[in-house]
Amino acid sequence: MRLVLAEGLDARFARHKKHEQALIAGLEAMGLEIYGDKECKMPVVTAIKIPEHVDGEAVRAMLLNDFEIEIASSFGPLKGKIWRIGTMGYSCRKENILHVLAALEAVLIRQKAKITIGEAVQAALNKYQQLENQ
């Protein structure tokens, strides 16, 4: 609670929104689809549709084992259909957003997913630059 008070709620909310926007820019540049209405989503978690013909659990395992990144799957009717990436706490930092985008791209390439290669990190960097210049 001290950290929240030290940062201030307005700054904390702005930080989460900033990193969410960069993450979404990178994911979409890769050709991945955000699940749900982006206007209504919480900035601390982003749901992504798992691309067709991709083993979502194999992607999660490789991210964890090779990159020490943990993303969540889902449950109920969305089990096996979406991943959830959190942007809160320690993960809500520029270097972590860039790391998860680069790692996810690498893993999806190995899974032979139909994605746009080489654009995700650049799109996130562009978004950060745009937000910093506002």
pLDDT digits (tens, 9 = 90+) for 19-53: 999 999 999 999 999 999 988 888 899 999 999 99
More confident residue, 6 or 110: 110
Instruction: Inform me whether the pLDDT recorded for 125 exceeds 80.
Output: yes
Q: What pTM value is reported for the model?
A: 0.91
**Alpha-carbon distances of 105 from 4, 53, 85, rounded to whole Å:** 32, 15, 14
pLDDT one-digit tens code per residue, 52-91? 999 999 999 999 999 999 999 999 999 999 999 998 877 7
